[in-house]
């Protein structure tokens, strides 16, 4: 059925090969929301230095997860399922740092006769480094071509939080034997100090998830928040996941990646390989990592709920 309305899913992207990894890193570190250097020429020089320094070691990590990020095939499946199950809307995806890019998809939507758009950044919590960056990128190329509604965050969505609780409980038989850690992508402390609501929203969401677990009578040994992916010398949000794991020698841990919707190199490599190795060295008995909601039927229902 032909429709003039669209859902546009926005995300950061991920590399399909080493050339795309260089593209991803170059675009990311040239983003003024990420590398907050006002002078674009200086930012470009600094970005180039960082990329050249990190490319080979970052690619080694990608080699451990099959030479590409899982974010691409999973997002393609999500788009396909949205197009099958969400009537009256055509669903598209746009990535911030790797294809498909905003300018190309916008041209396609114009050809497809799209007039109204719901922009849905696949970041549950709002951050200048993710949501704002993706929205600015879209609007730069859109040039008032569509009637737009923006979903700025959805971390409070009931359907979404139910799907997270269900995924956690699917992975364990007895929650009383496990410490639950919600792991979130870290941010430099100065970004939060400058008013970014990401950390506050993360804490609010964990309170909602705790309530849902309590209502189900599920009592974990402990429920915690930690931050992963720190790079560089700046002070980042704390506690780091590595520091948090030190609390659980001889105990069991289950991790839920709270800031991600679609599995990517940070879930498949960092959480499932790198931090698993750290956990084993620390003497943690059982270390489990939950999947993101990805293209699950539950998340399709969440999207339907969000766009109502």
Q: What is the pLDDT of residue 64?
A: 97
Q: What is the pLDDT of residue 234?
A: 85
Q: What is the pTM of this model?
A: 0.95
Q: What is the pLDDT of residue 36?
A: 87
For the domain spanning 5-154+297-306, the CATH number is: 3.40.50.1400
Q: What is the pLDDT of residue 264?
A: 97
Q: Are strands 252-257 and 286-289 parallel, antiparallel or unpaired?
A: parallel
pLDDT tens sequence across 88-122: 999 999 999 999 999 999 999 999 999 999 999 99
Q: What is the pLDDT of residue 232?
A: 77
Alpha helical stretches, state H, the chain: 18-29, 40-63, 71-85, 102-111, 133-142, 158-170, 189-193, 198-215, 241-245, 265, 275-281, 297-306
Q: What is the pLDDT of residue 35?
A: 87
Q: Binding site annotation covers 84?
A: no
Please state the domain extents for the chain: 5-154+297-306, 158-289
Tell me yes or no: is domain 158-289 CATH 3.40.50.1400: yes
Q: What is the pLDDT of residue 240?
A: 97
Cα distance between residue 30 and residue 48, in whole Å: 9
Same-fold call for 5-154+297-306 versus 158-289: yes
Q: What is the pLDDT of residue 1?
A: 58
List the chain residues with pLDDT less than 50: none
Q: What is the pLDDT of residue 38?
A: 87
Q: What is the pLDDT of residue 133?
A: 97
Q: Binding site annotation covers 266?
A: yes
């Amino acid at each position: 059925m032909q429709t003039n309305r669209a859902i546009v899913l926005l995300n950061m992207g991920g590399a399909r090969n080493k050339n795309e990894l260089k593209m991803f890193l170059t675009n990311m570190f040239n983003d003024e929301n990420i590398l907050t250097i006002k002078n674009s020429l200086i930012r470009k020089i600094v970005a180039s230095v960082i990329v050249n320094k990190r490319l080979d070691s970052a690619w080694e990590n990608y080699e451990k997860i099959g030479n590409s990020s899982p974010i691409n095939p999973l997002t393609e499946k999500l788009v396909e399922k949205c197009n099958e199950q969400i009537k009256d809307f055509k669903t598209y995806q746009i990535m911030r740092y790797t294809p498909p890019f905003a300018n190309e998809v916008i041209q396609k939507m114009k050809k497809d006769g799209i007039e109204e758009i719901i922009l849905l950044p696949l970041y549950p919590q709002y951050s200048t480094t993710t949501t704002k960056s993706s929205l600015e990128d879209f609007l730069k190329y859109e040039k008032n071509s569509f009637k737009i509604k923006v979903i700025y965050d959805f971390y409070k969505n009931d359907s979404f939080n139910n799907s997270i609780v269900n995924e956690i409980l699917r992975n364990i038989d007895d929650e009383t034997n496990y410490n639950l850690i919600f792991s979130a992508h870290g941010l430099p402390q100065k970004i939060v100090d400058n008013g970014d609501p990401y950390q506050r929203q993360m804490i609010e969401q964990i309170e909602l998830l705790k309530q849902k677990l309590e209502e189900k009578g599920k009592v974990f040994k402990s429920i915690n928040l930690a931050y992963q992916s720190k790079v560089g010398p700046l002070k980042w949000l704390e506690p780091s996941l590595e520091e948090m794991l030190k609390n659980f020698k001889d105990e069991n841990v289950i991790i839920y990646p709270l800031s991600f919707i679609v599995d990517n190199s940070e879930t498949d490599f960092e959480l499932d390989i790198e931090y698993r190795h750290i956990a084993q060295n620390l003497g943690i008995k059982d270390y489990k990592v939950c999947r993101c909601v990805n293209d699950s039927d539950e998340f399709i229902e969440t999207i339907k709920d969000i766009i109502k």
